[in-house]
Amino acid sequence: MRVAVFSTRSYDRRFLARANAGGRHELMFLDAALDASTAVAAQGAEAVCAFVNDRLDAEVLQQLQRGGVRLAALRSAGFNHVDLAAAAALGIAVARVPEYSPYAVAEHTVALVLALNRKTHRAYNRVREGNFALEGLLGFDLHGRTVGVVGTGKIGECFARIMAGFGCRLLAHDPKPNPDCLALGARYVALDELLAESDVISLHCPLTPATRHLIDARALATIKPGAMLVNTSRGAVVDTPAVVAALKSGRLGALGLDVYEEEADLFFRDLSAEVLHDDVFARLLTFPNVIVTGHQAFFTEDALTAIAETTIANLDAFERDGRPLHAVSVERLA
Ligand code: NAI
């Protein structure tokens, strides 16, 4: 099958080419992100393969369909960037990679928690400058602290398991409680109770209409003063200007972000010689108690191998019987 693969970097090409052993599919690797101005590049392809910041809205999907595309194979678990209703109406199947390595994302989340708590990012710079003073580097024992996990699916469960290993008390919030998290000792509570009691709050829910700006000014007013917030789910789960205000007031003690609401204009490319135009993002970078990584939580050898293999399996299944292995249906948006 001929596939236009958007937003590819060297690592995507390497892992996808390896999974596509024998060249079963004709993969056209494109640097450009998919949007209304680039959709034309998929002309003649039966499928597009897209990543998290590609746009698959109604306009783009219509263009793709006119060009012959019948499948959108996402290289991600999240599918918030696809207009599923429009895809269904146009007869374009949507596939995703439901699980590739929950460990990759959970472990990166823990890395952010540990670095923020023990100020590793500041210690690294200090020691290189010959500054061995400890003032300002004081952390706390995670053992015995309360960790709130919002969304206890595959990644949230994995994160909860690691934090249980640290000896943390676990609170959880999810419309569908996970028996394995209950077995770990997690107590399911309302969001406000989780926010009020947790020393560390970690977000692992998908971005849906119900979770957009779940952490807004109102929610931030209920958090335990000085609590740490970590978001490795999707940027828009958090209202970023509200978070900046909470950092300025000191209500929020530390912030770790791997995702950002407006990341599509920033992440996955080298902008080090450019002027930063996003003032909210620029403000975030000025806080000593904020660490931002550029959507790299998934970025392990294991995860990239699994993403590539599942993506090729989706293409194989679609070519064979007209249905991808892991179809996303419109009902999933509810
Ligand atoms: P999952 O589908 O296994 O789990 C999501 C959980 O969130 C489910 O248990 C669901 O019931 C729950 N949920 C839904 N609405 C909720 C709400 N309003 N409040 C609380 N919980 C709610 O998904 P998985 O694999 O654990 O991934 C979670 C999210 O992590 C993905 O949707 C994606 O956005 C993000 N992600 C980020 C990556 C990164 O590199 N930073 C990589 C992979 C995923």
Q: What is the pLDDT of residue 334?
A: 46
Task: Give the DSSP H or E segment for 155.
Answer: helix 154-165
Q: What is the pLDDT of residue 329?
A: 81
190 lines ligand 1 (CB under 6 A): no
Give tens-digit pLDDT for 219-243: 999 999 999 999 999 999 999 999 9
Predicted TM-score (pTM) of the model is: 0.94
258 lines ligand 1 (CB under 6 A): yes
Q: Residue 333 pLDDT more than 80?
A: no
- Cα 21 to the center of its chain, rounded Å: 28
User: 2-100+301-333 in CATH: which number?
Assistant: 3.40.50.720
What percent of the chain clears pLDDT 90, i.e. is strictly above it?
Answer: 96
CATH class of the structural domain 102-292: alpha beta
**330 falls in which pLDDT band (50, 70, 90)?**
confident
Q: Residue 144 pLDDT more than 90?
A: yes
What percent of the chain clears pLDDT 70, i.e. is strictly above it?
Answer: 99
Give the 3-state secondary structure percentages of the chain, helix then strand then coil, rounded to 5.
40, 15, 45
Dihedral pair phi/psi, residue 301, rounded to 5°: -55, -45
Dihedral pair phi/psi, residue 11, rounded to 5°: -70, -35
Q: What is the mean pLDDT of residues 177-194?
A: 98
Query: Contact 75/12 with Cβ under 8 angstroms?
Result: yes
Domains of the chain: which residue ranges? 2-100+301-333, 102-292
The pair of structure tokens assigned to 10 is 């060297």
Give tens-digit pLDDT for 280-291: 999 999 999 999
- Cα 261 to the center of its chain, rounded Å: 11
Which DSSP string corresponds to 26-53? EEEE-SSPPSTTTGGGGTT-SEEEE-TT
96 lines ligand 1 (CB under 6 A): no
Q: Does residue 213 sit in helix, strand or coil?
A: coil
Ligand 1 atom closest to the Cα of residue 152 is 9
- Cα 252 to the center of its chain, rounded Å: 21
Give the relative orientation of helices 102-118 and 301-321 as an angle to the nearest 10 degrees. 150
* Whole-number Cα distances in Å, 16 to 10, 49, 81: 10, 11, 21
Ligand 1 atom closest to the Cα of residue 258 is 41
Q: What is the pLDDT of residue 91?
A: 97
Q: What is the pLDDT of residue 139?
A: 98
Ligand 1 center to residue 312 CA distance, Å? 23
Residue of 283, 280, 279, 228 whose CA lies nearest to 250 = 228
310 lines ligand 1 (CB under 6 A): no
